[in-house]
Amino acid sequence: MVPTSLKAAFLTAALLVGLGRAGPNISQGHGALPSDPPLHLVLHTSENRLDLYQGDDLVRSYTVSVGRPGYATPTGSYAISSIIWNPSWVPPNSGWAAGKSPKAPGEPGNPMGRVKMMFSDLYYIHGTPDVGQLGEPVSHGCVRMSNADAIELAQTVEAYGAPGGANDGTVRLDNPVPLEVQ
Give the pLDDT band (50/70/90) at residue 36: low
- Written as one string, the DSSP assignment of 107-170 is -TT-TTTTEEEESSSS-EEEEES-GGGTTS--BSSSEEEEHHHHHHHHHHHHHHH-TT--SSSE
Greater confidence (69 vs 7) lies with 69
**Lowest mean per-residue pLDDT among 21-30, 36-45, 48-57, 59-68:** 21-30
Alpha carbon distances (Å) from 55 to 13, 158, 178:
16, 17, 12
17-21, 53-57, 117-121, range with greatest mean pLDDT: 53-57
Mean predicted lDDT score pLDDT of the chain: 78
Place 167 in a pLDDT band, splitting at 50, 70 and 90.
low
pLDDT at 26: 26
The CATH number of whichever domain residue 115 belongs to comes to 2.40.440.10
Overall domain count for the chain: 1
Give the pLDDT band of residue 5 (cuts 50, 70, 90): very low
Q: For residue 98, what are the domain limits?
A: 5-181
